[in-house]
Structure formats: C-alpha cells, structure tokens
Chain A
C-alpha cells in the first residue's frame, strides 16, 4: 500500500491518498482542499480513485468536496448514511486486496469514524486520535464518550498498527497507549 500524506493549509488538516499497488485502486481520505499535489500523486501512481472517505463533518476535512474536479463528482462517498443508522451495516470497504473496517468513534463529533486496514496494519483516525493528543470535545459528556470509544475500539488494536491522524505526524497504537496523556 502506498500512502500519500498531504498537509493542507486549512488548519493543517491532513489529506491522504491510498493506492493499492496491484490493482491501483485508490481512496482519498478527507478533503480539506483539492491541490495540484494530489493530481500529481494520482498521475504518478496511475491511481484509479474509487471513493472518498470522510472521517467527520468538520469544514477542515470536507471543504474541498465543494471544489472537486468534475471527473470526481460521482465518486462513492464513505461512510454511507446507512452506517450511522445501523453501525452493523456498511461497515467495511474494499481497496484492491485490502479490506478496510469503518469504526465509529464518537466524541470529537457524533459522526467521527476511523478506517482500519487490519492486513496492512494501518489506521486513519481523523480527529478522534492524534499523536500525543485527542480531538477536542464540546463538553464533559462527549469527552467521556470519546475516551470510552478510543480505549475500547482503538487501543485494543495491535500495538504496531500505524496511526495516520487528521492533523500532525504519524504515530502507532503502542506509542499512544504508552504516552498519550489523555489516555493514560
């Protein structure tokens, strides 16, 4: 799997392009803004972009959806609205030979989701979990909900799982379990 990380000018939000090396099937994760760099990466890797995955509905992760090039207008969007109606439905997506599991991690927003590729050992956390921090919440109730979701759904994943967050540098589940001051 090839992962391109773009750090946008909108709140330094990260945009990711994932390319499965065999099929060239590709997925974009979050869309703070479209950029020439993304075009180049798609061309360079011969990527066939199949879908866009949005980790949560904040503007710094979605603004670019309003300015997609025409050829990307009809791309499938994940997660589907059915996911939020029933978490047991539509909770995975396929990218070439990899299966990605969509996991709800509410707290930062009610619609916060992460995408986990078990066989690649990579996890895209949006603003649910950062290197050394967690996404802000509007109140104590949401903070507790976030803590519970992170501990029960993310920190139980293999420690060498690489975390690609919505802002900032890459980390791993093991590092966050050991050092994240919001979780220990």
Chain B
C-alpha cells in the first residue's frame, strides 16, 4: 500500500477566526497564531501542517525549515519572510503577498499561488513541480537552479532571473 499523507482538522464553530486547527499545535501556539500578527516572529522549524492562517501577518518572519504542508495562507502577508528550505507542498497561498521572500530550496510541490505576489522572490533550488502559479506575479523572481514544471497561466514573469 502506498503511503498516504494525512492531516487532521478540528472544525470549530463557524465564524471563529481560526476554525481549522492542526493536531500538531500546542495551545500556546494556537493563542499566538490567533492574534493574526506575527510580524518578524522567529518560527524557525515550526510545524504548521494544515493550519488556517488566512490573512495572517508574517512580514519578515523567520519560517526557515518550517512545515506548512496543507496550510492555508491565502491573503497572508509574507513580505520579506524567510521560507528557506520550508515545506510548502499542497498549501494554499492564493492572493498572498510573498514579495522579496526567501524561498530558496523550499518545496512548493502542488501548492497554490493563484493571484499571489511573488515579485523578486528567491526560488533558487526550489522544487516547483506542479506548483500552480496561475495569474501570479513572478516579476524579478530568481528561479536559477529551481527544478520541476510549475503550472503557469497568465503569470507575470517580467525580469525573471533564470
């Protein structure tokens, strides 16, 4: 039998800010993330698998080596964030701002960046296989040594460094 990746969600009552909670989170971290503002926070190596972080402010946050598989970061602000070697596979970054983020060696496998701002991001050595970049802005991004075939459709790529 092939290994199957799984995530457990706890769906709280509707209209709460964080309704999807990963089983991996400690209560203190849930409280911290619920604030919605983690600008500049050091979250290196954190496991945020499947967590609902829509619209959260992670500007300049350090998420180096973090696991964000299946996480929902749509409309999040990750401007200048450090996502080096982070696992972003199968996650949702729709409409997020990742401009100038460091995503060197990050795993973007099958993640969604539809309408995301990826201007001037560092994607050197990143895994872009099946990453969905539809309508995203990759202007000025550095994709040297990146591997895999992303899905591009109406993607802005002015000044892309290949």
Does B154 touch A at the CB level, under 8 Å?
yes
Q: Which residues of A contact B32 (CB under 8 A)?
A: none
How far, in whole Å, are A115 and B6 apart by their CA atoms in the complex?
20
Does B112 touch A at the CB level, under 8 Å?
yes
Given contacts A121-B19, A179-B114, contact A132 B10 (CB under 8 A): no
Tell me the interface secondary structure of chain B in the complex.
loop
Min Cβ gap A29→B in Å is: 13
Min Cβ gap A160→B in Å is: 6
Min Cβ gap A180→B in Å is: 7
Does A162 touch B at the CB level, under 8 Å?
yes
Given contacts A2-B9, A8-B4, contact A168 B19 (CB under 8 A): no
| Interface residues in chain A, defined as those with a beta carbon under 8 Å from any beta carbon in chain B | 1-9, 12, 15, 33, 35-38, 41, 119-122, 131-133, 158, 160-162, 168-172, 175, 178-181
Does B15 touch A at the CB level, under 8 Å?
yes
How far, in whole Å, are A131 and B151 apart by their CA atoms in the complex?
14
What is the number of contacts between chain A and chain B, taking CB atoms within 8 Å? Answer: 124
Instruction: Tell me which of B6, B74, B110, B115 contacts A171 (CB under 8 A).
Output: B74
| Interface residues in chain B, defined as those with a beta carbon under 8 Å from any beta carbon in chain A | 1-11, 14-15, 19-20, 50, 52, 54, 70-72, 74-75, 90-92, 94-95, 110-112, 114-115, 132, 134-135, 153-154
> Closest B-chain residue to A119, C-beta based?
B14
Given contacts A12-B110, A175-B95, contact A181 B154 (CB under 8 A): yes
Q: Which residues of B contact A9 (CB under 8 A)?
A: 2-4
Residues B4 and A132 in contact, CB atoms below 8 Å apart: no
Q: Which residues of B contact A7 (CB under 8 A)?
A: 4-6, 90
Min Cβ gap A90→B in Å is: 25
> Closest A-chain residue to B19, C-beta based?
A162
Instruction: Tell me which of A6, A33, A169 contacts B72 (CB under 8 A).
Output: A169
> Closest A-chain residue to B132, C-beta based?
A132
Residues A172 and B54 in contact, CB atoms below 8 Å apart: yes
How far, in whole Å, are A178 and B75 apart by their CA atoms in the complex?
10
Most B C-beta atoms less than 10 A away, residue of A1, A121, A175: A175
Q: Which residues of A contact B92 (CB under 8 A)?
A: 131-132, 168-171, 175
Residues A168 and B11 in contact, CB atoms below 8 Å apart: no
Residues B14 and A35 in contact, CB atoms below 8 Å apart: no
Residues A36 and B1 in contact, CB atoms below 8 Å apart: yes
How far, in whole Å, are A97 and B57 apart by their CA atoms in the complex?
36
> Closest A-chain residue to B135, C-beta based?
A181
Residues A3 and B114 in contact, CB atoms below 8 Å apart: no
What are 9 A-B interface contacts by the 8 Å CB criterion?
A3-B9, A8-B4, A41-B8, A121-B14, A121-B15, A133-B134, A168-B110, A170-B50, A171-B72
> Closest B-chain residue to A8, C-beta based?
B4
How far, in whole Å, are A179 and B54 apart by their CA atoms in the complex?
13
How far, in whole Å, are A180 and B110 apart by their CA atoms in the complex?
16
> Closest A-chain residue to B2, C-beta based?
A9
Residues B110 and A120 in contact, CB atoms below 8 Å apart: no
How far, in whole Å, are A35 and B1 apart by their CA atoms in the complex?
7
Residues A5 and B6 in contact, CB atoms below 8 Å apart: yes
Instruction: Tell me which of A38, A169, A178 contacts B111 (CB under 8 A).
Output: A169
